[in-house]
Amino acid sequence: MSTNFLRLLGAYVVMGILFALTARAAEAPKVASFSTALNWVTKSREYQAVCLQTYANAWDKVAAAAKKQKGPWTIVMDLDETVLDNSGYQRRLEASGQGHTQEAWEVWVAERKAGLVPGAKEFIAKVRKLPNGRIIFISNRYARNTDHSRANVNQLGLGDKSDIYLLRKDRKDRKNLRRAEVLQGKGRIKSHGAQKVLAWFGDAAHDFPDDSKLKWGTHKFMLPNPVYGDW
């Protein structure tokens, strides 16, 4: 065989491979691919199980502690990734290749499309049936979005008129300041007086008081959030 013939054959083979690859790429469905962390939250049975396990344990502990109370008591819950599931927002960011911004976040909050963290609704419904209880939501959503947040919670069937929303006034209004208001009955909680808090719920370390008397799984309940955090 001549060298020219072999060259020509080689060129046809390469062209054939390129054509096949191009055709295949064109056929590939246009599905956004998401991070492992987000897939774990949206698709895995493990994420569901950890959330259900946490809320099942919390119910046992809160019900037992509430039984011993003679007067009013409270549980304090974070909102995002503790009660409200914002994986829709995360999917939006990842699909568009955009990072998180306060502006994009507030657009999402105003849409009131957050879903439910597994187990949260059932847990809250049972807590509502206990006498003398109240739920305080301490969230770093801004206070200007309280109506959107309350509406989202209500449309998921979680809300009650007695709930207190302690959202962030401004950047300096950190959660430890709002926790102090709850425990000491001052500031925004003044008219309600100091609260007896039986349990704290969150998905981040900053959702919990720094108090060695409070134990994980008894007074403090952490929900899993592998998608974002201050790590």
Residue number, 80 or 94, with CB nearest to Mg ion: 80
Give whichever of 94 and 203 is closer to Mg ion, judged by the CB atom.
203
Smallest gap, in angstroms, from Cβ of residue 84 to Mg ion? 8
Per-residue binder mask for Mg ion (CB under 5 A), 104-143, x = binder: ----------------------------------------
Work out whether 181 is an interface residue with Mg ion (CB under 5 A).
Answer: no
Distance CA 120, CA 156 (A): 11
203 interacts with Mg ion by CB under 5 A: yes
Q: Using CB atoms within 10 A of its CB, is residue 126 exposed (0-12), middle (13-18) or buried (19+)?
A: middle
Q: Least Å distance between CB 102 and Mg ion?
A: 15
Which residue in the shown chain puts its C-beta closest to Mg ion? 80
Query: With respect to Mg ion, which residue has the nearer C-beta, 180 or 205?
Result: 205
Residue 81 is a binding residue for Mg ion (CB under 5 A)? yes
- Contact call for residue 85 and Mg ion (CB under 5 A): no
Nearer to Mg ion, 78 or 85 (CB): 78
Q: Which is nearer to Mg ion, 130 or 164 (CB)?
A: 164
User: Quick one: which of 78, 85, 94, 181 contacts Mg ion (CB under 5 A)?
Assistant: 78
80 is a contact residue toward Mg ion (CB under 5 A): yes
Map residues 87-106 to x or -, x wherever contact with Mg ion holds by CB under 5 A.
--------------------
DSSP letter string, the chain: --HHHHHHHHHHHHHHHHHHHHHHHHHS-------HHHHHHHH-HHHHHHHHHHHHHHHHHHHHHHHT-SS-EEEEE--BTTTEE-HHHHHHHHHHTPPP-HHHHHHHHHHT--EE-TTHHHHHHHHHHSTTEEEEEEEEEEGGGHHHHHHHHHHTT---TT-EEEEESSTT--HHHHHHHHHHT-GGGGGG-S--EEEEEESSGGGS---TTS-BTTTEEEPP--SS---
Residues forming the site for Mg ion (CB under 5 A): 78, 80-81, 203
